[in-house]
Structure 1
Amino acid sequence: MLEQAMAGAAQLLVWPAIGFLFLGILIGIFFGVIPGLSGLNGMAILLPFTFTMETVPALCFLLGMYAVTSTADTISSVLLGIPGTAASQATVLDGHPMAKRGEAERAFGAAFTVSAVGGVLGAIAVVVSIPILQPIILAFSQPEFFMLGVVGLTMVGALSGGSVTKGIAAAALGTLIACVGYGQQVAIPRYWFDVLYLIDGLPLMPVVLGLFAIPELLDLMKGKGGISDVSSAPGEGSGLMQGVRDAVQNWWLTLRCSILGVYIGLLPGLGAGIADWVAYGHAVQTTRKDPKFGQGDVRGVIAPEAANNAVKGGALVPTIAFGIPGSPPMALLLGGFLIQGVAPGPSMLTTNLSLTFSLIWTLVIANVAAAVLLFALSKYISRLIFIPALLLVPAVTVFTLMGSWMSTFQLGDWIALFGAGALGVAMKRAGWPRPPLILGFIIAPILENAFHISRQSYGYAWLGRPIVLILLAVAVLTIVLSIRKSSKQAKLDKADPVQAAEALSMAELAGSARFGAVFSVIMVGVFGFAIWAARDWPGALAAFPVAMAVPGLICVVLAGVADWRRRHLDEHQSDPFAVWPLIEFCLWMLGIVLLTMAVGQMIALPVFTLVFLLIKARAKPLLAAGYTAGVALLLWGVFDQIINVAWYPSWLS
């Protein structure tokens, strides 16, 4: 095997393979940093370029690009609170609060270090796991997949924020939103309200960017300083090397979360978007020493970043060994295999073993190279947190709108973005955690398909399968432990309501108890309608949304009652909700939409940039002109010429 490993390295380290690998790394960093441009999009765009390439350069080009997106996406997650890709959603929870404290460099130092470690461990896992884990992979059938998804939902729902009921209700709401459009088993649309855009379901990026980017964009538009709440870095203990020391000190957490990422990657269809939540939940659940998750705990950055990079190696195992893609981008990598005439399967472990090792070396080199490059640049990147917030608004707006637009190239993408944004603002105000909703939205198709097949194939007998029972016990234990923790916190809150309100405000999850109670009433209507609308549907169509809506409804009622009981905490909060910034934000966004309908995005977005900088940000004309020119160049050079975006057919065109 050592001989094949050296042969694989020799194939990769010669020209042009090594050149294409580093080109892929640079492109992958770009696709990871910009919200909306994911590894899946990058793989789809680059795949046609491999038709005329040789096998090793082509596959290493694709895999090198994809491998580093989960490292680069940390930048927007930490600085802006906007997930660069679905794999960095959990990083937002503690990475962005660290940036607000002026500790962006520390977050980057920790994240890039564990990203390299996780990526390397994932590559090593490919080597040692294939012969060992084949029977384990084959032991997981649809009942186990369904219960594994339930464990993920309960873990994230129970551990995201201070309320178990709100977390689980948010996860259930995410699964219901994913049920919009055609069912997984029956070609009948659900919850589509005769709107053609909804008949195929809501795309991922408008929902993700709406929930996370719009509330952050609203905060930036208030214009209170920069991203950071402090005017300069706090000094000693906030820099890159402190982040590296944090990663070293938490080496056992890094190792555990990397292993979690590998195993989740091994299970086809789950991927990094789920692994980072599971790893984050694991970190919250197992941390005993001074946990401050949600307030800027560096361990909340280390856990998901180690896991989402290790996933890539794990996902490569079923892809090359069994021809089963471990994630959607791996499905496109299989397309690259077919283009090159390479058949995945047993041959990749025998006659083509050297090619397999070339891919493994690609993971190692790509993760290390990206971490080193970003580590060198992070000192300069982190200074963005001290730039006046209003100067960042146009760039964030452009990336948010274009990231959403690339879902289906319809105006409905923007409507869905703003609708999800309104929901995100309301959830933030009501103290509902948004991460469980996103996880529920992502995992719902997998859950529904597994749920349906389990019912059809096993009846109710699947509930007694050994692995299912073990996973069910993990889910129940997670909820029980979270309830115990919440009960202890409730007693402390009752003893000192002022301190309780301050602590919740620091976690950005307090919201308004009164608004939370009102929001719960609205959600009771939503869950109730979901159950009522399914009454006449075929059983295969109605079973899953009803199974999700019933526990969601119960949790909403409990959450509403709890909010009503703690409404006295509102008296101690000093940051009332500002209505005028919300109205002003809506007017700016409405202006962009109307101008786009008139003249198209290529003109509307630069015009918005110029007008906003001159009127709202009061920037100097020269700076505004240069900024606007940069936005116009980005739209034309990247989105139009490289990505070939289908622009809105405006009245002018």
Structure 2
Amino acid sequence: MLEQAIAGAAQLLVWPAVGFLFLGIMIGIVFGVIPGLSGLNGMAILLPFTFTMDTVPALCFLLGMYAVTSTADTISSVLLGIPGTAASQATVLDGHPMAKNGEAERAFGAAFTVSAIGGVIGAIAVVLSIPILQPIIMAFSSPEFFMLGVVGLTMVGSLSGGSITKGIAAATLGTLIACVGYGEQVAIPRYWFDVLYLIDGLPLMPIVLGIFAIPELLELMKGGKGIAKVSAVQGRRSGLIEGARDALRHWWLTLRCSLLGVYIGMLPGLGAGIADWVAYGHAVQTTRKDPQFGKGDIRGVIAPEAANNAVKGGGLVPTIAFGIPGSPPMALLLGGFLIQGVAPGPSMLTTNLSLTFSLIWTLVIANVVAAGLLFVLSKYISRLIFIPALLLVPAVTVFTLMGAWMSTFQIGDWIALFAAGALGIAMKRSAWPRPPLILGFIIAPILENALHISVQSYGISWLSRPIVLLLLAIAVVTVALSMRKSMIRAARDRTEPVLEKQHLTLAEQAGSARFGVVFSIIMTAGFAFALWDARDWPTTLAAFPVAMALPGLICAIMAGISDLRRRHLDAGRSDSFPLITLVEFVLWLAGIVLLTMAFGQVIALPVFTLIFLLLKVRAKPVVAVGYTASVALLLWGVFDQVINVTWYQSWFL
């Protein structure tokens, strides 16, 4: 095996393979930093370029690009509170509050360090785990996948601060949103309201960007000196070095979450978007010493970042060994295998073992190089948090709108983005956690398929399978521990009735109990409608949404009752919700849409940038023109020439 490992390194570290590897790393950093692009989009865009390439350069080019997106996406998650990719959603919970506390560099130092460690551990796992874990992987069938998804939902629901009912209701709401469009098993559309755009379901990115980015844009619209609420933390040690030392100090958490990410990556179809939540939940559940999760706890950055990079190595195991993609990007990597005439399976462990080691070396080199590059550059990037907040609005708006637009290239993508944004603002206002909704949306198709196959294949007896019972016990324990913490917190709040003492994120502490009652009523009506609308559907079509809507309905009612009892906490508190800013924000977005319909995005977005900078920011003309030119160059150079975006067919152009 050592000879094959050396042969794999020799195949990679020669020209042009090493050149394509580093090119892939640079492209992956860009795709990770810009919200909405992601490794999946990068794979899809780069795959056609590999037709004329040799096998090792082609596969290492693709894998090198994909491997680093979960490292680079930390930048937007920490600085802007917007997940760069689905793999960095949990990082937002503590990374962005750290940026607001002036500790962005520390968050970067910890994240990049554990990303490199997690990526290397994932690569090592490919070598060690295939013969060991094959029986375990093969023991997971549909019942186990369904119950694993339930564990994920309950674990994320438990991160909902003072209310597990809000967390579970949000998670089930996400699964119901994912049910829009044709059913997984029966070609009958659900919840589509005769809108053609909805018949194929809602794309992921408009929902993710709407739930996270739009509320953060509203915060930026309020103005102020910068994202950070305090000045940069001063001291003899660099924040980056301090973050790296944090990662090494919490080495046991890093190792556990890396191994957790490896294992989740080995389970086909799950991927980094789930691993980071499970790792974050694990960190929350196992931390006893001074937990500050949601307020800027460095462990809340370390756990998901270690896991989401280790997933890449874990996902490679079923991909190369069994031909079963560990995640959607791995499915596209399989496409690269087919283009190159390489058959995944036993041959990758025998005759093509050197190629397998080339891929393993790619993971190691890509993660270490990307972490090193970002370690050097992030010190300068992190200064963005101290520039005026309004100056960031045009750039974040462009990235958000274009990230959503790339889903289907229809105006419906923007409508879905704005609808999800309204929901995100309402959830933030009422202190409903947003992350469980996104996890529910992502995992819903896996859950529905697994539930259908389980019932069809095993009837009710699937509930008695040993691994299913073990996972069910984990879910029950997770809920029980969360309820215990909630009761302890409620008892403390009765003696110290201060809303801010709940373990909510800084952004969500503005939630109003009174508004929460109204929102819970609206959500209760929504869940009731979901149940009512499913009454005449075939059992196969209705089983999953009914199974999700029923607990959602119960939890929404309980959340409303809880907020009703807590409404006295709002007494004497000034309502700081920026209603005027919201109206102004809506008008700006409406103006962008109208300009786009008239002239297209290539003109509308730069014009918006120029007008906003001159009228709202009061920027100097030279700054406004330079900023606008940069936006125009980005739209033309990246989105038009490189990504080949299909632009809106405007009225006049």
TM-score range, shorter chain: over 0.9
Superposed counterparts of 1:422-441, under 5 Å: 422-441=422-441
Q: Please tell me whether the aligned partners of residues 292 and 503 of structure 2 are also in contact (alpha carbons under 8 angstroms).
A: no
- 1:502 shift after superposition: 7.9
What does the per-residue CA deviation read over 1:90-142, in whole Å, with 9 as the maximum and x for residues that have no partner? 00000000000110000000000000000000000000000111110100000
CA distance in 1, matches of 2:71, 2:530: 38
Describe the shift of the 1:237–1:213 C-alpha distance in structure 2 as closer, same or farther (beyond 3 A): farther
Superposed counterparts of 1:445-456, under 5 Å: 445-456=445-456
What does the per-residue CA deviation read over 1:5-45, in whole Å, with 9 as the maximum and x for residues that have no partner? 00100110111111100000000000000000010111111
CA distance in 2, matches of 1:505, 1:175: 23
Identify the residue that residue 246 of structure 2 maps to in structure 1: 246
Match for 2:144: what amino acid?
E
SS at match of 1:577: coil
Match for 2:112: what amino acid?
F
Identify the residue that residue 64 of structure 1 maps to in structure 2: 64
Q: Please tell me whether the aligned partners of residues 596 and 604 of structure 1 are also in contact (alpha carbons under 8 angstroms).
A: yes
SS at match of 1:254: helix
- 1:225 shift after superposition: 1.5
Identify the residue that residue 591 of structure 1 maps to in structure 2: 591
- 1:498 shift after superposition: 3.2
CA distance in 2, matches of 1:385, 1:302: 21
Describe the shift of the 1:536–1:238 C-alpha distance in structure 2 as closer, same or farther (beyond 3 A): farther
Identify the residue that residue 184 of structure 1 maps to in structure 2: 184
Identify the residue that residue 7 of structure 2 maps to in structure 1: 7
Superposed counterparts of 1:221-620, under 5 Å: 221-235=221-235, 239-498=239-498, 500=500, 506=506, 508-509=508-509, 511-571=511-571, 573-574=573-574, 576-620=576-620
SS at match of 1:580: helix
SS at match of 2:498: helix
- 1:496 shift after superposition: 1.1
Unmatched runs of 5 consecutive residues or more in structure 1: none
Identify the residue that residue 204 of structure 1 maps to in structure 2: 204
What does the per-residue CA deviation read over 1:560-611, in whole Å, with 9 as the maximum and x for residues that have no partner? 0000001111125455212100000000000000010000000000000000
Superposed counterparts of 1:127-142, under 5 Å: 127-142=127-142
CA distance in 2, matches of 1:501, 1:49: 53
SS at match of 2:570: helix
CA distance in 1, matches of 2:350, 2:637: 44
CA distance in 2, matches of 1:505, 1:156: 14
Describe the shift of the 1:241–1:572 C-alpha distance in structure 2 as closer, same or farther (beyond 3 A): farther
Q: TM-score, normalised by structure 1?
A: 0.99
- 1:231 shift after superposition: 3.5
Report the RMSD for the aligned CA atoms in angstroms. Answer: 1.1
Identify the residue that residue 44 of structure 2 maps to in structure 1: 44
Q: Please tell me whether the aligned partners of residues 433 and 509 of structure 1 are also in contact (alpha carbons under 8 angstroms).
A: no
- 1:160 shift after superposition: 3.1
Q: Please tell me whether the aligned partners of residues 294 and 507 of structure 1 are also in contact (alpha carbons under 8 angstroms).
A: no
Match for 1:459: what amino acid?
G
Describe the shift of the 1:575–1:226 C-alpha distance in structure 2 as closer, same or farther (beyond 3 A): farther
Describe the shift of the 1:299–1:507 C-alpha distance in structure 2 as closer, same or farther (beyond 3 A): farther
Q: Please tell me whether the aligned partners of residues 108 and 240 of structure 1 are also in contact (alpha carbons under 8 angstroms).
A: yes
Q: Please tell me whether the aligned partners of residues 598 and 650 of structure 1 are also in contact (alpha carbons under 8 angstroms).
A: yes
Q: Please tell me whether the aligned partners of residues 489 and 502 of structure 2 are also in contact (alpha carbons under 8 angstroms).
A: no
Describe the shift of the 1:227–1:275 C-alpha distance in structure 2 as closer, same or farther (beyond 3 A): same
- 1:349 shift after superposition: 0.2
- 1:501 shift after superposition: 5.5
CA distance in 1, matches of 2:523, 2:349: 52
CA distance in 2, matches of 1:561, 1:134: 48
Corresponding position: 1:120 with 2:120: yes
Q: Please tell me whether the aligned partners of residues 505 and 511 of structure 1 are also in contact (alpha carbons under 8 angstroms).
A: no
CA distance in 2, matches of 1:121, 1:573: 49
Match for 1:587: what amino acid?
L
- 1:278 shift after superposition: 0.3
Match for 1:88: what amino acid?
S
- 1:508 shift after superposition: 2.7
Q: Please tell me whether the aligned partners of residues 501 and 569 of structure 1 are also in contact (alpha carbons under 8 angstroms).
A: no
SS at match of 1:162: coil
Identify the residue that residue 174 of structure 1 maps to in structure 2: 174
Match for 2:207: what amino acid?
V
What does the per-residue CA deviation read over 1:630-652, in whole Å, with 9 as the maximum and x for residues that have no partner? 00000001101110100000001
Q: Please tell me whether the aligned partners of residues 294 and 505 of structure 2 are also in contact (alpha carbons under 8 angstroms).
A: no
Describe the shift of the 1:231–1:344 C-alpha distance in structure 2 as closer, same or farther (beyond 3 A): same
Describe the shift of the 1:96–1:238 C-alpha distance in structure 2 as closer, same or farther (beyond 3 A): farther
Corresponding position: 1:108 with 2:108: yes
Q: Please tell me whether the aligned partners of residues 82 and 92 of structure 1 are also in contact (alpha carbons under 8 angstroms).
A: yes
Identify the residue that residue 218 of structure 2 maps to in structure 1: 218
